[in-house]
Amino acid sequence: MRSDTLQVLLWRRALDPHIGRWSLPGGRLRPDEDVETSIRRQLAEKVDIKKLKHVEQLAVFSTPDRVPGPRVVATAFLGLVPSDVDPEVPEDTSWHRVDDLPRTAFDHAEIVLRARDRLRSKLSYTNLGFALAPDVFTISELRGLYSAALGYRIAATNLQRVLARRGLLEPTGQTAPPGRSGGRPAALFSFACKGIQVTDPFAVLRPPPAAR
């Protein structure tokens, strides 16, 4: 999440096939590490991302012709970086809006959209919002993150009511610094749990009628 938009980190391929196209970060698994350890290592080494709040396996992509030449099977993972993290990235790497992707290598656009759909789904029935938000936040800030991820604007009061009913929010007893317009300082909250939990297995966050 960056600037109230859902974004994905891509880098330009330096080798054929598809040289110059944007692609998802990836690499080989070392003999002495599991997959999640490999993901965290490669992101830390290559693009300075050391703070992934959540990692989960997304899907296996195995279409025979997904990559030119010898067959390559890819296991894709969804990794979420909180909105207040701004890592330094090399010149060949950049954040891109998920709703406005550049030309990508292989089937990477399909993988990105599959990850977006997984995120949207899990925001409905789990506490996964903790992985997008800073450690402390206002309800207005949290509403912006959920709206960006879901692709439509949601009401802050409704979001707070739903999350509070599920026991996901904790008031910190602190307030945010007042803005330029003054007014009452906004209360700061945090997520009660910083690990993934299913909170309402049958819940679905739906857009308002005008947004459908």
In order along its 212 residues, the chain shows pLDDT tens digits of 555 899 999 999 999 999 999 999 988 889 999 988 999 898 888 877 878 899 999 999 999 999 998 999 999 999 999 999 888 888 999 999 999 999 999 999 999 999 999 999 999 999 999 999 999 999 999 999 999 999 999 999 999 999 999 999 999 999 998 777 767 889 999 999 989 999 988 787 777 766 55
CATH of domain 125-211: 1.10.10.10
φ and ψ at 111, to 5 degrees? -65, -45
Distance from C-alpha of 113 to C-alpha of 206, rounded to nearest angstrom: 19
Distance from C-alpha of 164 to C-alpha of 189, rounded to nearest angstrom: 11
Which residue in 40, 48, 52 sits closest to 91, CA to CA? 48
| Superfamily of structural domain 7-124 | Nucleoside Triphosphate Pyrophosphohydrolase (3.90.79.10)
The token duo for 90 is 């090399």
Domain residue extents for the chain: 7-124, 125-211
Sign of CA dihedral 113, 78, 16, 45: positive
CB count, 10 Å around CB of 29?
Answer: 13
